[in-house]
Structure 1
Amino acid sequence: MVYDERTGFEIGDPAIQLIPAGTSLSKEDKEIFLKNTILSVSGWRRVFAVDGDEESTTPEIGLPDKIMVGSCARLFTEFLCAEQKKKRPTIAVGLDARHTGPVIGMILIRAFLAYGCNVQYLFIAGAPEIMAYAKTNPDIDGFMYVTASHNPIGHNGLKFGLNDGAVIGKAQAQPLIDKFKVQFFNDKWIEELVRDINAVDVMAVKDVFSKINMYKNEALRQYREFTDAVITGITDKSGREEMLATIRRKIKAMNVGVLAEFNGSARAVSIDVDYLKQIGLQVTALNDKPRQIVHRIVPEGQSLDLARQELEKLSASNKAYRFAYVPDCDGDRGNIVTLDARGKSWILEAQEVFALSVVSELAYLVYAGTLTYDSAGNPQQKVAVVVNGPTSGRIEKIAEAFGAEVFRAEVGEANVVSLAALKQKQGYIVRILGEGSNGGNITLPSTVRDPINTIFAFIKMLVLRSENGKPGLFEIWAKRSGNMSVYCADFELYSVVESLPVFTTTSAFENRAIVRITTEDHAKLKAEYEKVFLGEWDNKKSMLKEKLGIEKYRVLNYEGIETKEGIGSKFRSGAERGGLKVLFEDCKGSQAAFIWMRGSGTEPVFRVLADVRGDNPAAEKILLDWHVSMIQQADKA
């Protein structure tokens, strides 16, 4: 058995036969397996724990899981050879902190070696870390990352990516899914796969294991340098160092501390603590060993309670500590706890975290001189913010203040990243993008959410203050939003949060955000929903006008990077599994509210959300209840 130097965890036994020779599965077993497996653009995911318990910490996985993992490696190798036009591509492999990760990693390594790949194994690494490594290391052709993100510990999954540091998009991912669904039922293909994996030279596996520490160190080094470029947005090295020096100086002057409550995340063995300290922050880390999981993985609601409690304690004895962050298991999502005016801890909603990050990064473009305005206050550059369908309408209000445009894509990080790339090609400056409904942000040139970048959006807002006649970030925002009354020179983060456009939005992780349905036909349900909506609009429009100022509506359909406006199937395609939004406008044509829905591809549920301008929980409830009622009526039709 080989053990990891950093964590002491078992990496695996290079000599063990992972899949018994002569392995076969019945057609029925394969069908049941696929029914319980998510195969999507965002990755291939399921409960890998062999006992089927989604909260299980067993390291063992089942035989069908092993075959899927090996198949995934084989198909991805074929894809990379064709995509990169290489006979022997180099693939980086990494894991989040889940217990089933090492055996999945073992199978991937054997399969990649069997099909002629070079493998650089990082073992446990955060998703942003391996993606930055793939993007910045010229030797890497692609990456495979083992994770189930924010899902319970018994889940696991696989994400495919290229050397641009991004997960592959739908056009590339769907053919891989389709091929797997065919070959999984091809007994000869499975027999060959098992034979090839078991035939791999033990010494070749040992060699991969022996280099884990070397590649991990190199990945950390490149991730640190990449993070410098991301948080400054400056490609020139001397300019980047000058901005970092300014940030360090201002952090030192203010004396700022951060609490990192890792909850056993892969980020616990990433750059976080060292990087934050070297830039001048005080740092306290909790649950900072991988698998030291003390609460649910998704960093929402009650998962932030520990950070909230500990931040209050820290701040009471050391006023430097102003906020805390909690990442998920793979470390690409992280939400924030800060302090209010009384020094009481305050859990920010995911939508608020993203909104503040957008304000900070757009103001930073102005601060850095990248975004300028003419004498009439009009932007002299085209600037875009890219978000998903259910991100709150407050982003449009923020963008409007800066003269930026908002573009929306279907749910899914790959969709948002692809749309941002398109907008860049069209001449837009795209600094920040993301899925406000899920929290976190993507700050280019990064192509993945990263809590470090969220933290520094907050840090820059806090420390890049007005100085020597040059407006700081908060003053820039206050002026652009026409709300200078909120600004004062000695502000704290809570002042910035309170200055955000006020919207009331359903949390994506509330029980109310899920509606169970009976139909499997999403196209039929949407068609029926539209009929119900048209029938009810006439009855409710007077009430909606009176209570919410709603005068009219637009129906928007999100598929991939496209938004199609209109009612009816001609504005959707395929199985019509994209998001559908009814956008409500006031008499001036401004966004007043919206209701949104999107069906799951693996379980009989629709995810739903309502977003209402203003602090109006009652209105949000009225809209969401109405929305759910219409979905239920459509489901029964």
Structure 2
Amino acid sequence: MLIESLSGVRGIESELTEDFIRAYAYAFAEVCPPGKILVGRDTRQNGMAIITVLLEALKNTGRTVINLGICPTPTVQFAVEDQQAAGGIVITASHNPLPWNGLKFIGSDGIFLDADQMRQLKERRIELNKEAFIQKGNGAIETYHRAVDDHIEAVLALPYLDESLIRTAGFKVVVDAVNGAAYRAVPEFLRRLGCEVIELNCNADQPFPRNPEPLPENLLELNQAVLRHKADLGCAIDPDGDRLAIVSELGKPVSEEYTLVLAAKLVLSKFPDSAQKVVTNLSTTMAVEDVARQYGASVIRTAIGEINVAKKMREIDAAIGGEGNGGVLLPEAHLGRDSLVAAALILQLLAEKAKSVSELMQELPHYEMVKLRVSRGDLDLSDVLDELKQLATPADLDLQDGIKFIWSDRWVHLRPSNTEPIIRIYAEAKNAALAQEAAEPFVAFFTELSK
């Protein structure tokens, strides 16, 4: 199923035809300001065929196009901004398994195109698919091999990092890059920080030996490797290198919801009582608020989607932002989710506190989340808002992305899927049973409606 959404374009190999890719290349070249366009990809083998078509099409629009090769999505985002490029394209389907692939589009500011820009891009792509492709100019294809190195240097230079302190700590880290785009970047970055690195699934030739989502149930091999090597930390990366989940020294996976919580704790500790701002989406753990409160900071919630977090961060000059899927955005690096940035901030926190991951987690508030799906057919949530309100009396209600019912100790977020006829129901509370209990009236409501 071909998906064209806020996060870009995704489809299986047979759907990503040469004409489809050319149309998007021509459309993107039209909407970008003057200048060069950068292209990178993850390790999916069909990415080589896609990048060949994409580079040639962009060249035929008269653009100079720079092939960055295999590199993480945040590397391309950083490079666009660092090299003052007109835009960038990443060939990836993120956490989708093989044979999926896709395209992500980056503006000249280094952040993804927003909903309006993606809508315009899709409309122009459809028009171009009906036209003959003609060579509009004589551009050029160039190759740049140092994008990952530039990215590593930039993260090492972050003001929050004390490289000598991290080196003195002498961390041993197991890295599971799922043989994805960060297979070289993350291990090399950690070694630059003086870490002893054990590589697991860091081979670009054999992508995705496990389920590519860095969720606890997919990290058994990493858990075992952390224990076997007596490591301080395990790092699990997603296929395009923008998300990080960690495993404690006890071989226990930490929910990726807490990647942002730990990173925010480090950043906010540098600005105590200075009214800093943290931006995250509506479905991220409320532990973010608890940590922010410790340092006199406030949390601003946005609709789901990295672009929404990035735009709000830029608007209000936030100290840090991210999402509960293991994504951390730090403005001093660039406004995109970045596994290198997330790893750096967590290592700095471990070094400063001189505590293990499990000890740090014991100090944080503990919540558990349930994620459910119910059929919605053609139902619009706004049509049943009044009825839904009768199911619960929340302390607060947020309507910016679906409906979120908020209490002091729990919340339930109802959000229609953009790609399936379902409603996603997320609920969080002190334990899974309470979260399930909070979600149950809404599950029952939609189940009854669908009969």
AA partner of residue 11 (structure 2)? R
Could you tell me whether the CA contact under 8 Å between 2:27 and 2:128 is conserved in 1?
A: no
Between the aligned partners of 2:50 and 2:389, the Cα distance in structure 1 is: 50
Aligned partner (choices 398, 402, 415) of residue 295 of structure 2:
402
Q: Deviations over 1:70-125 (max 9, x none)?
A: 11111111101xxx2x3xx2100111111211111111111111111001001211
1:414 corresponding residue in structure 2: 307
1:515 corresponding residue in structure 2: 374
Instruction: Give the superposition deviation at 1:533.
Output: 2.3
> Is it true that 1:69 corresponds to 2:14 in the alignment?
no
1:43 corresponding residue in structure 2: 8
Q: Deviations over 1:427-446 (max 9, x none)?
A: xxx2210111x123112232
AA partner of residue 531 (structure 1)? D
1:346 corresponding residue in structure 2: 252
1:331 corresponding residue in structure 2: 241
- 1:513 is paired with a residue whose SS is strand
How does 1:54-93 map onto structure 2 within 5 Å? Answer: 65-80=17-32, 84=33, 86=34, 89-93=35-39
- 2:236 is paired with a residue whose SS is strand
Aligned partner (choices 157, 166, 178) of residue 123 of structure 2:
178
- 1:149 is paired with a residue whose SS is coil
Instruction: Give the superposition deviation at 1:65.
Output: 2.4
Could you tell me whether the CA contact under 8 Å between 2:278 and 2:300 is conserved in 1?
A: yes
Q: Deviations over 1:456-482 (max 9, x none)?
A: 2221111124xxxxxxxxxxxxxxxxx
2:435 corresponding residue in structure 1: 620
Aligned partner (choices 344, 358, 366) of residue 456 of structure 1:
344
Between the aligned partners of 1:276 and 1:393, the Cα distance in structure 2 is: 30
Between the aligned partners of 1:146 and 1:179, the Cα distance in structure 2 is: 19
Could you tell me whether the CA contact under 8 Å between 1:384 and 1:405 is conserved in 2?
A: yes
Q: Deviations over 1:577-612 (max 9, x none)?
A: x3321112xxxxxx2211102112222122221011
Q: Deviations over 1:250-277 (max 9, x none)?
A: 23433211111112111113x3222221
How does 1:194-273 map onto structure 2 within 5 Å? Answer: 195-196=134-135, 208=141, 211-212=142-143, 215-217=144-146, 219-230=147-158, 232-233=159-160, 247-269=162-184, 271-273=185-187
> Is it true that 1:607 corresponds to 2:424 in the alignment?
yes
Task: Assess, with a 3 A threshold, how the Cα gap between structure 1 residues 257 and 608 changes in structure 2: closer, same or farther.
Answer: same
> Is it true that 1:156 corresponds to 2:66 in the alignment?
no
Between the aligned partners of 1:251 and 1:404, the Cα distance in structure 2 is: 26
Between the aligned partners of 2:422 and 2:450, the Cα distance in structure 1 is: 11
Between the aligned partners of 1:337 and 1:322, the Cα distance in structure 2 is: 9
Larger Rg: 1
Between the aligned partners of 1:154 and 1:362, the Cα distance in structure 2 is: 41
Which is bigger in relative contact order (C-alpha 8 A, separation at least 6)? 2
2:383 corresponding residue in structure 1: 527
Aligned partner (choices 324, 330, 353) of residue 443 of structure 1:
330
Could you tell me whether the CA contact under 8 Å between 1:532 and 1:634 is conserved in 2?
A: no
Aligned partner (choices 567, 579, 584) of residue 402 of structure 2:
579
- 2:37 is paired with a residue whose SS is strand
- 1:346 is paired with a residue whose SS is coil
- 2:58 is paired with a residue whose SS is helix
- 1:457 is paired with a residue whose SS is helix
- 2:219 is paired with a residue whose SS is helix
Could you tell me whether the CA contact under 8 Å between 1:96 and 1:266 is conserved in 2?
A: yes
> Is it true that 1:556 corresponds to 2:398 in the alignment?
yes
How does 1:368-387 map onto structure 2 within 5 Å? Answer: 371-372=271-272, 379=273, 381-387=274-280
Instruction: Give the superposition deviation at 1:634.
Output: 4.3
Between the aligned partners of 2:172 and 2:356, the Cα distance in structure 1 is: 13
2:193 corresponding residue in structure 1: 279
1:307 corresponding residue in structure 2: 222
Instruction: Give the superposition deviation at 1:289.
Output: 1.2
- 1:633 is paired with a residue whose SS is helix
Could you tell me whether the CA contact under 8 Å between 2:285 and 2:367 is conserved in 1?
A: yes
Output the aligned Cα RMSD: 2.1
Between the aligned partners of 2:150 and 2:108, the Cα distance in structure 1 is: 14
Between the aligned partners of 1:597 and 1:166, the Cα distance in structure 2 is: 27
Could you tell me whether the CA contact under 8 Å between 1:327 and 1:335 is conserved in 2?
A: yes
Could you tell me whether the CA contact under 8 Å between 2:216 and 2:254 is conserved in 1?
A: no
Aligned partner (choices 213, 223, 239) of residue 298 of structure 1:
213
- 1:441 is paired with a residue whose SS is strand
AA partner of residue 611 (structure 1)? E
Task: Assess, with a 3 A threshold, how the Cα gap between structure 1 residues 598 and 160 changes in structure 2: closer, same or farther.
Answer: same
AA partner of residue 406 (structure 2)? L
**Gapped runs of 5+ residues in structure 2?**
none
AA partner of residue 6 (structure 2)? V
AA partner of residue 121 (structure 2)? L
AA partner of residue 417 (structure 2)? S
Higher helix share: 1
AA partner of residue 115 (structure 1)? T
- 1:307 is paired with a residue whose SS is helix
Could you tell me whether the CA contact under 8 Å between 2:166 and 2:348 is conserved in 1?
A: no
Instruction: Give the % identical residues.
Output: 23
Could you tell me whether the CA contact under 8 Å between 1:324 and 1:337 is conserved in 2?
A: yes
Between the aligned partners of 2:372 and 2:267, the Cα distance in structure 1 is: 29
Between the aligned partners of 2:374 and 2:399, the Cα distance in structure 1 is: 19
AA partner of residue 150 (structure 2)? Q
Between the aligned partners of 2:89 and 2:61, the Cα distance in structure 1 is: 15
